[in-house]
């Protein structure tokens, strides 16, 4: 019993906690890991692939007018830089939706099909365009959600179980997730 307790304390003594990403951002993970099984640099790299990690960047829909389009373009450029770091064969680009939201903020028009050319969410797109022409902006979020739902079968779901198994294998524990609106 004493040996097992001493071994457990030794293992726990090798665990450290870090914030990922390390800089002051609104969204971050607090993770702990065993230094004998992974380096801090490796943990930071692997956590970029977490469901709400670095590579999940996108465009923040921040309105329906031209000033919102300017803010959203900055988000799109940032997302494009992140996306360019990934192998496009393994990680298909997710920039289409953001570009459509910017186009909507600039012109009030939404496409009649989704990123794959399939008719999707046409009625919602027409309602959003009509609402915007009358000064409203609430339906665009419904259109975005409709596109995401209709694209899910082609895009696939985030591999939660596989990522959790990977973290467990590496001895990484997510202690806290802090996100916008959480």
Task: Tell me 68's DSSP state.
Answer: H
User: How far is the CA of 98 from the CAs of 75, 137, 148, 154, 168, in angstroms?
Assistant: 9, 16, 12, 18, 34
Spans of all domains in the chain? 1-51+173-182, 53-157
pLDDT at 29: 87
pLDDT at 6: 42
Q: Which residues pair with 150 in a beta bridge?
A: none
Q: Tell me how many helices (H) and strands (E) the chain has.
A: 7, 3
User: Which pair of structure tokens corresponds to residue 26?
Assistant: 């609104």
pLDDT at 5: 46
Say whether the peptide bond before residue 110 is cis (omega within 30 degrees of 0): no
pLDDT at 92: 59
DSSP helix/strand/coil, 178: strand
pLDDT at 176: 87
Q: Using CA atoms, how far apart are residues 32 and 81, in angstroms rounded to an integer?
A: 29
Query: For the whole model, what pTM was predicted?
Result: 0.62
Instruction: State CA 127 to chain mean position distance.
Output: 27
Q: What is the chain's pLDDT, residue by residue, as a tens digit (182 residues)?
A: 555 544 455 455 588 888 888 777 777 888 999 888 888 999 888 888 887 777 776 667 667 777 888 888 888 888 788 777 777 666 655 677 788 888 888 888 887 777 777 777 888 888 888 888 887 777 788 888 888 788 777 777 778 888 888 888 888 999 888 876 54
């Amino acid at each position: 019993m004493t040996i097992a307790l001493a071994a457990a304390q030794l293992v726990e003594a090798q665990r450290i906690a870090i914030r990922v990403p390390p800089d002051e951002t609104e969204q971050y993970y607090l993770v702990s890991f065993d230094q004998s099984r992974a380096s801090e640099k490796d943990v930071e790299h692997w956590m970029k692939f977490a469901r709400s990690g670095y590579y999940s960047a996108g465009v923040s829909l921040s309105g329906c007018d031209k000033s919102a389009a300017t803010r959203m373009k900055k988000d799109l450029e940032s997302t494009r830089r992140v996306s360019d770091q990934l192998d496009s064969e393994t990680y298909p680009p997710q920039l289409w939706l953001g570009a459509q939201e910017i186009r909507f903020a600039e012109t009030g028009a939404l496409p009649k099909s989704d990123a794959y050319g399939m008719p999707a969410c046409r009625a919602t797109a027409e309602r959003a365009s009509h609402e915007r022409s009358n000064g409203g902006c609430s339906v665009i979020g419904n259109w975005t959600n409709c596109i995401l739902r209709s694209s899910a079968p082609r895009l696939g779901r985030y591999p939660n179980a596989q990522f959790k198994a990977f973290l467990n294998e590496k001895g990484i524990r997510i202690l806290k997730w802090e996100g916008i609106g959480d």
